[in-house]
Structure 1
Amino acid sequence: MTAAAQPKCEVKDLSLAPQGKERIEWAEREMPVLRQIRERFAKEKPFEGIRLVACCHVTTETGNLARALKAGGADAMLIASNPLSTQDDNAASLVVDYGIPVFAIKGEDNETYHRHVQLALDHKPNIIIDDGSDVTATLIKERQHQMGDIIGTTEETTTGIVRLRAMFNDGVLSFPAMNVNDAETKHFFDNRYGTGQSTLDGIIRATNILLAGKTVVVVGYGWCGKGCALRAKGMGADVVVTEVNAVRALEAKMDGFRVMPMNQAASIGDVFITVTGNKHVIDAHHFDAMKDGAIVCNSGHFDLELNLDYVKEKATSKRVVRQFAEEYHMPSGKSVIVLGEGRLINLAAAEGHPSAVMDMSFANQALACEHLVKNKGKLQPGVYNIPEDIDQEIARLKLNALGIEMDTLTQDQIDYLNSWTVGT
């Protein structure tokens, strides 16, 4: 492929593009569903004339989503959804090799991040692909004159869905939002298998610790927490789960994990992983109760799951002990080690979810955008689940790519399932 005309951009180093292109192509090997969607988009051009902004983790997998959207005719622009999740070589390749405007630099400060959000809105998007709903929230708070241009938004994080529902309940969401996060082909696989594997990958890369024999506290037992707990247990850890939902707490117990309040778990944990989408689930008094050398990390979308302001304020000193590992010395004489500045550890210290998992998540994103365009003007403001036929189509494409066949119902079985007159 010849290099595309270089668009406006703000990336670390365009000379990294060759390495990034190799990695994007490597990821594509594990993304057959998105590849098939891209090939269809290239023929049908469902996004012709559509301005699209994607606020995502700028990884090789996201690069393949951006390629699919552009193939479909979208005037697409990409910004980072998290300061530490950008892969700089991937960002460079998207600009140089694929002609996609990218504004993302690994380690960018908050001021730069918010400036990029404003640049995204300057693009005057018709569709927003959000990861945490920052672009959508900024649009509603600061750019209401642009809201008439919006066909809809898509969101694939628990945090973002919580925010969108709050916007709708407050009466400020004036367009449809697609809940990609709760699609079965997303959260069953991305959240459980993707987050489970990549979170432990990030912890191990950042620390090189042996998890076997360690007490790992998983804060939250949603699909991400289930994945983290399952993988930590598989590596020999003694896993403790904390929860606020009675059904999930019971499920964790039945799955073989110890369940207790965070106030009790704080003093026994060696490694803490937060995956709740909520604020300060590890708070000041929890940090005070931790043993010396406790390791704390977050795999939820925002770093506010950890009350790091307290740690930074109270610490007598701080030092970087390894890349992505900072040791804070507390007045008690104990120290606490925070990984990845409290940001998504699987992306801060590792490479995020495996491509095979993101294949289905980004297939949902691409088809959700197409659904919004096809139904422009027909959907009322609100948060919508992915239609079941889209979910099933993604699963079917994935099975076909894996060479797996399955049974189908006979007409007699279909008739039976739709009848009430036939008994045992």
Structure 2
Amino acid sequence: MSDQTDPLAWTRDYTPILRSLADEYGEEQPLSGYSVALASHLEQKTGVLIETLRDAGAEVLVTGSEPYSTKGEVVDALRDQDGVETFVEAGMTEEEWADGQHRLLEAEPDFILDDGCELIAKVHADHPDVARQVIGGGEQTTAGITRLEAMEDEDVLEFPVYGVNDTPMKHFFDNVHGTGESSLSNVMITTNTMLSGKTVVVGGYGYCGRGIARKARGMGAQTIVTEVDPRKALEAHMDGHRIASMAEAASEADYVITSTGNRDVVREDHFDELQDGVILANAGHFDVEIAVAALEDAADRVTEPRDGVTRYHMADGRRINLLAEGRLVNLTGPHSSGHPAEVMDTTFAMMFEAARDMLAEGRGEKLAPGLYAMPDRLDRAVANRKLETLDVDVDDLTDRQREYYEEWEHPDSAF
């Protein structure tokens, strides 16, 4: 297949970590004999991860973590590959998408790499016999970690899961830089508007929210952050953003971008406060952060002035513009391409390592069911691979420095 006909060719050029993993494990195939279920946004970067898992010997069972971000050309390219079985198509309804996930789970995967806890929640709720046979899992999103924490609190998890989202190589880079850049770029491409000099309200100051807020301010926007956690609000304040309630901030907003992992961040209480022409977008996993149904009920009529923009005409003449129907703006809009490949390279490398560590290294069989931090040694290994691809060297600790860390009395200290 030539680069002109291969939809993954360009992305492979910008995912050197995944390619290095495929090269290293392509001969020994440590995942041979295992089936790995993967739920993620079915676009080019995910396609390269699937190829990497397949090259390492896994049988890969593929579905989308969200029905509207699937790229048909990627599914077509994967469908013809040995060792890959797809349970998703572009243009699926939500019912068809959910049915595909259930059919995947009925294939009894050994391991689940998840996004939003889609498959892990479903296998426990609807396929408990399958759940008891799963060796382990990995979760790459904040929303998914929240669901897993709730499952662990209720003591219902049947297998160990690595919280890939909470590793430094994920949240410091993917969440901050990937979400920040891709969300803002897709807002601007969809609207053909300018952020500089505008007021951008960011709902939530987790790793994703801080990336959006910092990058928006770097582009010349005035930034306001809304939060429910006083510590995160203080962090945003110390980073130079204004802090306000959504009720207060809504009246000043030119843009409102939500990224909280929770629902009804922009809701009926706020609609009367929004100014004419405001642009609303959601950068959270689920399409619940903006109360779209309530907005539609409050509007006199609805139009589509631009591809990817739904305009709600209010009775008083104000126009409220919603991007991507309130779904993930960086992945489900008509011009969306998701995170840059370079940052997804690190995240997907962590997902690959979660599967390899639990399956090939046998740790999934040794761990009790529950949510676990990703081992630091794996996070550091991926960081080192990334530095190698950048041809960057870092210092090593000397023996004396290592001893200093390990000796709590510090006998040589000047104190």
TM-score normalised by structure 2 residue count: 0.95
Q: Does 1:251 align with 2:232?
A: no
Asked if 1:72 is matched to 2:56, the reply is yes
Q: Aligned partners of 2:307, 2:209: CA distance in 1, in Å?
A: 25
> Partner of 2:154 in structure 1?
170
| Runs of 4+ off more than 4 Å | 17-20
Distance 1:306 1:18 in 2: 39
Note the 1:270-285 alignment, pairs <5 A: 270-285=254-269
Structure 1 position 103, deviation (Å): 3.1
2:358 to 354, 360, 372: 372
Deviations 1:25-81 (A, max 9, x none): 211111111111112221221211112211100111111100011111111111111
**Partner amino acid, structure 2, of 1:395:** A
> What's 2:284 paired with?
300
Aligned position for 1:355: 341
CA shift for structure 1 position 83: 2.0
Task: Judge conservation of contact 1:198–1:346 (CA < 8 Å) in 2.
Answer: yes
Alignment partners' CA distance in 1, 2:3 and 2:122: 34
Q: Name which of 377, 386, 389 aligns with 2:374.
A: 386
Contact 2:106–2:127 under 8 Å retained in 1: no
Cα distance in structure 1, aligned partners of 2:299 and 2:74? 36
Structure 1 residue 107: Cα displacement:
4.2
| Residues 119, 180 of structure 1: alpha-carbon distance in 2 compared, 3 angstrom cutoff | same
1:357 CA drift (Å): 0.3
- CA deviation vs aligned residue, 1:223-246 (integer Å, no higher than 9, x gap): 111111111112111111111112
Alignment of 1:142-153 (within 5 A): 142-153=126-137
Question: Aligned partners of 1:65 and 1:385: how far apart in 2?
Answer: 21
Provide the rounded CA distance (Å) in 2 between the counterparts of 1:325 and 1:83: 19
- Corresponding residue for residue 42 of structure 2: 58
Match of 1:344 among 310, 314, 328: 328
* Residues 1:85 and 2:69 are matched in the alignment: yes
- Counterparts of 1:18 and 1:284 in 2: how far apart (Å)? 48
The SS at the match of 1:174 is coil
The answer to whether 1:423 aligns with 2:409 is: no
Gaps of 5+ in 2: none
Give the corresponding residue for 2:193: 209
Rate the CA distance shift 1:107–1:320 in 2: closer, same or farther, 3 A. farther
Q: What is the aligned partner in structure 1 of residue 212 from structure 2?
A: 228
| SS in structure 2 at match of 1:93 | helix
For residue 389 of structure 2, the aligned residue among 395, 401, 415 is 401
Separation in 2, partners of 1:99, 1:91:
14
Distance in 2 (CA, whole Å) between partners of 1:158 and 1:72 is 27
* 8 Å contact from structure 2 (residues 67, 94) kept in 1: yes
After superposition, the Cα gap between the structure-2 partners of 1:130 and 1:279, relative to the gap in structure 1 and judged at 3 Å, is: same
Pairwise mapping of residues 8-157 of structure 1 onto structure 2 (< 5 A)?
Answer: 21=6, 23-97=7-81, 100-157=84-141
Which residue does 1:189 correspond to in 2?
173
**In the TM superposition, what is the alpha-carbon distance from 1:249 to its structure 2 partner?**
1.1
State how many pairs are aligned.
408
Q: Which AA in structure 2 matches 1:325?
A: V
Root-mean-square deviation over aligned CA pairs? 1.5
For residues 361-416 of structure 1, the C-alpha deviation after alignment (integer angstroms, 9 at most, x for no partner) is: 00000000111112132001110111000000000010011000111111111112
Identify unmatched segments of 5+ residues in structure 1.
Answer: 2-16
TM-score (norm 1): 0.93
Give 1:218 shift. Answer: 0.5
Instruction: Kindly provide the amino acid, as one letter, of the partner of residue 354 in structure 2.
Output: A
CA distance in 1, matches of 2:82, 2:11: 15
Structure 1 CA distance for aligned equivalents of residues 135 and 179 of structure 2: 30
Aligned sequence identity (%) = 38
> Partners of 1:301 and 1:56 in 2: how far apart?
11
